[in-house]
Amino acid sequence: AQTVTQSQPEMSVQEAETVTLSCTYDTSENNYYLFWYKQPPSRQMILVIRQEAYKQQNATENRFSVNFQKAAKSFSLKISDSQLGDTAMYFCAFMKTTNYGGSQGNLIFGKGTKLSVKP
Amino acid sequence: DSGVTQTPKHLITATGQRVTLRCSPRSGDLSVYWYQQSLDQGLQFLIQYYNGEERAKGNILERFSAQQFPDLHSELNLSSLELGDSALYFCASSVPSGYTFGSGTRLTVV
């Protein structure tokens, strides 16, 4: 069975600074995707970034980037130039896929990290 | 807008009662996943339907059931409600690159 661990229950960062959220996972699967989801106070689950396990290049979406270390089963999220709107819960999630990248099962979530961006 | 629609947004009910949560997936999506988010258990997968058929079960209680109709909308039925069932219930559609979530139904059992 797959597990996802987020070891930082809460973090804070000053506006415009950079912060890194940690995530480790355990799986024996070779084909999978990893995700970071953001849940602001509105409670909506918003996809931040996705990483395919077969890709060596780290994913980047504007101010958000990941450090994907497949051998170490580590998947951290870096937020650059933090903004007040980044205040939210951040969830790391794992999804098993087929050999062709199709979804194969449900998302497995970590417990989340509550990030506060301070002015 | 994720394209996944959940109703109602909020629901308050008493212990022992039964409620139905509704989800309409994105147009053309055949799959529906239900998740429960509670303070103590985090986000947990409950059940998956694909084109009307149950595909997978997670940590779903026997008091809970779901179905997916021919028009692909899904309903999650929660019965004999307990205080501990108070949670945010999400449904999600699966797309090749991941999942997209509805805005959730906040259930409060009093």
- Using the predicted structure, report yes or no on whether residue B25 has a pLDDT greater than 70: yes
**Which chain A residue is nearest to residue B91, measuring alpha carbons?**
A45
pLDDT reading at B110 higher than 90 = yes
**Contact partners, residue B55, CB within 8 Å, separation at least 6:** B31, B48, B49
Summarised one tens digit per residue, pLDDT across range A14-40 is: 999 999 999 999 999 888 999 999 999
Distance of CA A7 to the CA centre of its chain: 13
pLDDT single digits (tens) A63-100 = 999 999 999 999 999 999 999 999 999 999 999 887 66
Least confident of A9-13, B63-67, B95-99: B95-99
Q: B10-13 and B105-109: which strand pairing?
A: parallel
Interface of A with B (CB under 8 A): 33, 35, 42-45, 47, 50, 91, 95, 101-103, 105-112
Residues of chain B contacting residue A112, judged by C-beta atoms under 8 Å apart: 42-43
Buried b (16+ CB within 10 A) or exposed e, A22-46: bbbbebeeebbbbbbbbbeeebbbe
Q: Tokens 């999600």 map to which residue?
A: B92
CB B87 within 8 A of CB B36: yes
Q: For residue B82, is pLDDT > 70?
A: yes
Burial of A9 per CB tally in 10 Å (0-12, 13-18, 19+): exposed
